[in-house]
Structure 1
Amino acid sequence: MSSTGFNAEWLSDPEARMPLAVEEHLWTRAADLTQKPSFGLFAAGLIRPGEFDVLDYAVRTAPDLRTALQRLARYNRLLHDLATFEIIPIGETTRIEHRFDVVGVRPCPQAAEFTLASLVVVASQLCGKPVKALSVEFAHAALDKLEAYREVFGVTPRVKCSVSCLVLPSELLDRPIPAADPGLSRIVMAHAEQLLAASHCPPENIVTLVRRQLAEGMAHGQTSLQAVARCLNLSERSLQRRLDDQGTRFAYLMDEVRRELAMRYIADEHLALGEVVYLLGFADPSSFHRAFKRWTGITPAAARRSRH
């Protein structure tokens, strides 16, 4: 603690927040002292129910893994001011992206690995059997031998990507959790909402909320201003005004999210271009082709060929 700037008094203060730099120093020193390069993966394997207090129980009492992830995305601010999760359905798969809600700032490698590994660990505990990822990406270089990652995730990760993310089967996420407890879930959720309302953590950025809603609703046609405002419990006028205050517009965010998703879908050769058109919510292939050429200067087919 002394070498990282951690104040021991924080341990007895439930409202304490440690600076991000201290957290990063703790991760680095833990890896050094234990001589475990992938200490984040190791730490995730030690997670037991209840260790993250109300957030943990909100997640663990959910009826299915998708709801559990949605609760994680909403209540994670009870533990961390910057970390956000974006849940993106992509046909038969679902992509979970982990980032910080501040431009230019990323989770440190150990924290990123702990976070994605913890998703697999907790999902396995909820399902009562091992859960393996379809793919894993990290924004940093590998910290350990690739076998260490394969043991946790079941696949070899891609590294030095634009964002850290985990991809799981949608069928798995929508399958009921055997030990789900609806009664306890209602109690925990009510308490979590009270804590969120009373907490001193900053409110989630409206731009982040809109981007998340657009990403989750893109393939289901839930991307109109009216639909997004309804999901966020805002009037259309209030939503537009709050986006104006952030210096952006709804149409710009829609275009931005579509462009980012398009790049990911094009990279996935299991998806036909016709499926990409559907997943992005375009009315027809020609509309998608025009948009893609505006974003990149080339056609979707050419972009896919260029990856070979």
Structure 2
Amino acid sequence: MPNRQNSHIAAIARDFALYLMDQGYSEQHVFAGTGLTLDAIREDGAQAPLPDIIAVFNRGRALTGNDLIGFEWGKIRRSDRMGLIGYMGRTSPTLERLLLNLARYRRVFSKPIEMDVSRLASEGAYVWTYRLPKGIDPTQFVESQATHMVVGFTRAIQKHPRPRSLAFEHHRPRNREVIERFFVCPVQFGAPRNEIVFDTADLKRPIVTSDEALNKILLEHCELVLSQTPPDSSDVRIQVERAIADRLSAGQATQDQIARDIGVSPRTLARRLGDAGTSYHKVLADLRRALAERYLRDGQVTQSEIAYLLGYADVSSFATAFKRWTGHSPGGLRKVSEYGNGHASA
């Protein structure tokens, strides 16, 4: 059984291994020293320790001598056999909704991945990182994932969603220009986290295989699987965000109340959030800002209604907070959104 705290969907290692075997490398050579076998990860829903999955990619680099092997494979990979998470993605209505659902249900397919979609709607930023032991080189694995994401999105919306920028945690001493030519955008290596910034208009485009009825069923199933998946300490921010969202409009989203809701003491909550590199007040502010920008861009909710939904006493308090976050008034963002959508400003 894989370590539950670092298990990740193994289909990517299976498909990469089969690709190497098609190039003439034996199964024994492909999996040597990785701790995996093809039989162990053959099923679509199989999971395996992420370090072992990454080891398969590093074996590919060693066997071929090609330090772009993960990137090159990511360009041609098909994702027809990804199990539940793959079906959820293909039936999603838009790329934005796909990424939001991916972040929400990430524990269904991966324990060690962390995702941040708090700036997705406003800036098109999708951020992710992996909790890995020191000394593991994820270059081939991460580059294959990022490349496959962009290629897969191209198929999904029948348009190439050119990223505005791309950042990788890992360092790449050679062949940076190859990566930059493919993505046609600035690419940073050695960044704090992996990040792709998309054009928000591309994220709103419909997915050609979208199926609302089937997607609803799949999301319900994801919710069921998620409810049966024990949380780990890395999920504390997600737990806090959900608890805050439930209490926000009632004005009850205090730190003490949220701690009670998730079953810990306020001191323990503060410590866990500190360990995760954040604080209760930062989580609250980030969530309020993300929701405020979403409501304002939607254009269907008045500022007084937004103030109520976010737990502010009045519009003035909300406007003051919004200007502190963004440097401009809520009305300014709404006008920009309306002009950007081709509508006259009210």
Number of positions where the alignment pairs a residue of Structure 1 with one of Structure 2:
259
Where does residue 236 of structure 2 map in the other structure? 207
1 CA distance for matches of 2:191 and 2:51? 23
Counterpart check, 1:226 vs 2:248: yes
1 CA distance for matches of 2:36 and 2:246? 46
Task: Give the one of 62, 69, 74 matched to 1:39.
Answer: 69
Task: Give the one of 181, 186, 191 matched to 1:161.
Answer: 191
1:71-90 alignment to 2 at 5 Å?
71-89=101-119
Where does residue 276 of structure 1 map in the other structure? none
Task: Give the one of 241, 261, 269 matched to 1:238.
Answer: 261
Task: Give the one of 170, 174, 181 matched to 1:140.
Answer: 170
2 CA distance for matches of 1:257 and 1:99? 22
Instruction: Report if aligned partners of 1:139, 1:160 keep a CA contact under 8 Å in 2.
Output: yes
1 CA distance for matches of 2:210 and 2:35? 40
Shift of residue 71 of structure 1? Answer: 1.5
Shift of residue 94 of structure 1? Answer: 1.6
Instruction: Report if aligned partners of 2:103, 2:115 keep a CA contact under 8 Å in 1.
Output: yes
2 CA distance for matches of 1:42 and 1:242? 49
Instruction: Report if aligned partners of 2:45, 2:84 keep a CA contact under 8 Å in 1.
Output: no
Instruction: Report if aligned partners of 2:167, 2:187 keep a CA contact under 8 Å in 1.
Output: yes
Shift of residue 143 of structure 1? Answer: 5.7
Instruction: Report if aligned partners of 1:101, 1:208 keep a CA contact under 8 Å in 2.
Output: no
2 CA distance for matches of 1:34 and 1:135? 29
CA deviations 1:130-182 (Å, max 9, x no partner) are 12100001112126412321243221311111111111112221233344211
Shift of residue 120 of structure 1? Answer: 1.1
CA deviations 1:200-249 (Å, max 9, x no partner) are x75573423158779xxxxxxx9896269999xxx743047376544246
1:1-308 alignment to 2 at 5 Å?
1-12=31-42, 17-89=47-119, 93-101=123-131, 108-142=138-172, 144-198=174-228, 202-203=231-232, 205-209=234-238, 226=248, 236=258, 237-239=260-262, 241=264, 244-246=267-269, 247-248=271-272, 252-255=279-282, 283=321
Partner-residue secondary structure (3-state), 2:118: strand
Change (3 A) 1:238 1:206: farther
2 CA distance for matches of 1:5 and 1:226? 47
The share of aligned pairs that are identical, in percent, is: 18
* TM-score, normalization by structure 1: 0.67
Runs (5+) with no aligned partner, structure 2 = 1-30, 287-318, 328-346
Where does residue 6 of structure 2 map in the other structure? none
Instruction: Report if aligned partners of 1:206, 1:242 keep a CA contact under 8 Å in 2.
Output: no
Larger Rg: 2
2 CA distance for matches of 1:196 and 1:148? 39
2 CA distance for matches of 1:228 and 1:60? 36
* TM-score, normalization by structure 2: 0.61
2 CA distance for matches of 1:101 and 1:282? 37
Change (3 A) 1:287 1:36: closer
CA deviations 1:82-132 (Å, max 9, x no partner) are 112211327852211111257979872222222222221221111112121
Q: CA RMSD in A?
A: 4.1
CA deviations 1:254-299 (Å, max 9, x no partner) are 337979xxxxxxxxxxxxxxxxxxxxx962767999xxxxxxxxxx
